[in-house]
Amino acid sequence: MTLTKLPKDGKVAVLGAGILGLTFTYFLSKLRPDLHFTIYEKTQRPGGWMFSPTLHVKDTGEKIMLEKGPRTLRGVKDGSLLMIDILQKLGLKNQVEVINKSSPANKKYITDSQGEIVQVPNSIASTVKFLKQVKAFDWNLLRGIVFEPFVKPYNGDETVEQFFKRRFKSTIITDNVASAIMHGVYAGDIGKLSIKSILPALKEIEHESGSIVKHVLQQIFKLKTKPKPKLNGTTKDGEIDSKQKVQKLSELLQTYEQLLSPQANLLLLQTRLKDYPMIKLHDGMDALPRHLAQFLIQNTNTVIKYNAPIESCDPVSGLVNGEKFDHIRSTINTHSLANSLPANNPLVPQLNSIQYVSIFLTNLFTRELLLIPQGKPGFGFLRPRYRNVSNNPQALLGTIYDSDIENHVQGLFNDSKPVRNKYNKITIMMGGHYYSHWSIPSNKLNLKIVEDVLAEKLKVDVSRLNVKAITISEGKRDTEIDTIKDNDLVISYSLHSQCIPQYNLGYQETKAKVLEILNKENYKLSFGGTVFAGGLGVPDCVESSLVDALQLK
């Protein structure tokens, strides 16, 4: 979208005090200290879907963190580096914890057609065994692989399932493996998600190489024939390897260092994170938005209005809830924004066409080591759809092994290591696109379903445990419980309604129409958040916050 630079002492409205609204405000306030910001938040706290309440156990003094939203940042991304730099600026660098790529907590699993948990492969040899276990290989797929190089590219958009079926003449990979990945990232249906929106690289490979198989074989050949450079940058023959990659920062991060954070040394940080594919915060992911909100209030011209839903918004005049602004930044649900716009605004039908899914999230804690399968430590498991086996009546998407993650972290900027306490803590996620086909079960029924998941997938005999269901108030970060005995199973559940947008077939056209309207009508409006920004991941959206702030400065 084309953004107009803001006038001196201009006023900016930010819709939503989640991490994306807050980082946008932070970046733009650094670039333009003269600007005045008003952040509207419908709830009574900052953070949005990032919420990390703590359960205090009275008799032992323990503090048990229950992540209700995102809990880790994965991979070395520009947005992750930006977030870590902000944490350092806030004096919170010791919050940053990482997990080494060789850690047991970095192992991932999916369930096979019988519900057994199978480790995702990390080598060619283990891949063969894995595909056999999850029944993701048959003669139709083998024939499809052989003839895939002769399949002509298709210019139009299609679902992920249609793409693989067209090129490989089989849906066994999408049914038994790829659908699990879509459950973990989008909670979405692989038969509806757009290939151009979520896996654009595959479409690029199809058009550039003409074949996925051909491209993969070329990459394998390059790896096998590429000379291995020594530490001094020379080949084994002593000659300088001119093709050796020199690590450098992206243009965006270089600009960030020049204009906002000259002492950041992000290249060193980027190099340091290469061995750590997973990042978390010691006090929970909401530590960043909580402290960032305080910083903005105390150090910039920012006011945060809590319990202030958007009742009216006019992108032409710049009016938000009756107050006039020079720019409006929306990071809220597109349906909520549509309801606040004038009824005849051309954005309304486009914003309402975006589909969202809901998640029933359950945190479970026990002192007994019985929630995580023995001999299978890791990050957790995802459930594929297995079209020909069952329709997943539990609407199970996946399970995260929180205690394994917490027990294998180390400080990025200090030598801190976790105290490996004996406990199990997991998070079970259900719903997503499955809830689009039937009514969302009641909390009582969903808790019964959680018990079924524990029994069938994790082999836990819930009948011998004392179940303690606790309620976490949306705006209350601390909750108390008198005691937790060895045979207690503590359960905390919450329904995240309409929390994840779906990049389904047709999304690309909708996004193009929205951006066209913004440019054509010269609206005082821009979009952050997970819908029209850089992607669904938090780092991608934080990166988008910086990109747009640079245009508005």
Q: How confident is the model at residue 390, as a pLDDT?
A: 65
Segment 173-225, tens digit of pLDDT:
999 999 999 999 999 999 999 999 999 999 999 998 899 988 888 877 776 67
Answer whether 327's CB lies under 8 Å from 13's CB: yes
Number of neighbours of residue 231 by Cβ within 10 angstroms? 5
Q: How confident is the model at residue 389, as a pLDDT?
A: 56
| The dihedral formed by the CA atoms of 451, 119, 106 and 434, expressed in degrees to the nearest 10 | -50
Extract the tokens encoding 271.
Answer: 């190099």
- Total-model pTM: 0.92
The pairing of strands 54-57 and 63-65 is: antiparallel
Residues pairing with 38 in the sheet? 13, 303
Close Cβ partners of 336 (under 8 Å, ≥ 6 residues apart): 42, 309, 310
The pairing of strands 327-330 and 380-382 is: unpaired
Residue 320 CA to chain centroid, in angstroms? Answer: 29
φ/ψ (deg, to 5) at 379: -80, -30
First-residue to last-residue Cα distance in the chain: 15
Element (H, E) at 502: strand 488-502
Q: How confident is the model at residue 243, as a pLDDT?
A: 40
The per-residue DSSP string of 345-400 comes to: -THHHHHHT-EEEEEEEEEEEESSS-SS-TT--SSEEE----TTT---TT-EEEEE
Measure the CA–CA gap between 523 and 320, rounded to whole angstroms.
13
Q: How confident is the model at residue 139, as a pLDDT?
A: 86
Measure the CA–CA gap between 253 and 158, rounded to whole angstroms.
33
Q: All domains of the chain, ordered by start, with CATH?
A: 11-49+285-353+505-551 (3.50.50.60), 54-74+90-108+355-501 (3.90.660), 120-224 (1.10.3110.10)
Extract the tokens encoding 352.
Answer: 């309402």
What distances in angstroms separate CA 26 from CA 21, 164, 292, 325, one per listed residue? 9, 42, 8, 18
161-199 residues labelled b (16+ CB within 10 A) or e (exposed): bbbbbbbbebbbbbbbbbbbbbbbebbbbbbbbbbbbbb
Measure the CA–CA gap between 133 and 130, rounded to whole angstroms.
5
Extract the tokens encoding 110.
Answer: 């999916």
* Residue carrying the six token digits 């108030």: 473
Measure the CA–CA gap between 280 and 67, rounded to whole angstroms.
11
Question: Burial of 118 by CB count in 10 Å (0-12 exposed, 13-18 middle, 19+ buried)?
Answer: middle
The per-residue DSSP string of 25-52 comes to: HHHHHHH-TT-EEEEE-SSSSSBTT---
Number of neighbours of residue 492 by Cβ within 10 angstroms? 21
Extract the tokens encoding 336.
Answer: 């909520």
Segment 90-143, tens digit of pLDDT:
999 999 999 999 999 999 999 988 888 999 987 777 787 888 888 888 888 889
List the chain pLDDT tens, one digit each, 553 residues: 667 889 999 999 999 999 999 999 999 999 999 999 999 999 999 999 999 999 999 999 999 999 999 999 976 899 999 999 999 999 999 999 999 999 999 999 999 888 889 999 877 777 878 888 888 888 888 899 999 999 999 999 999 999 999 999 999 999 999 999 999 999 999 999 999 999 999 999 999 889 998 888 887 777 667 665 554 444 444 443 434 455 789 999 999 999 999 999 999 999 999 999 999 999 999 999 999 999 999 999 999 999 999 999 999 999 999 999 999 999 999 999 999 999 999 999 999 999 999 999 999 999 999 999 999 999 999 999 887 556 688 899 999 999 999 999 999 998 877 666 789 999 999 999 999 887 899 989 999 999 999 998 999 999 999 999 998 887 788 899 999 999 999 999 999 999 999 999 999 999 999 999 998 888 999 999 889 877 788 999 999 999 999 999 8
The pairing of strands 302-305 and 36-40 is: parallel
Q: How confident is the model at residue 1, as a pLDDT?
A: 60
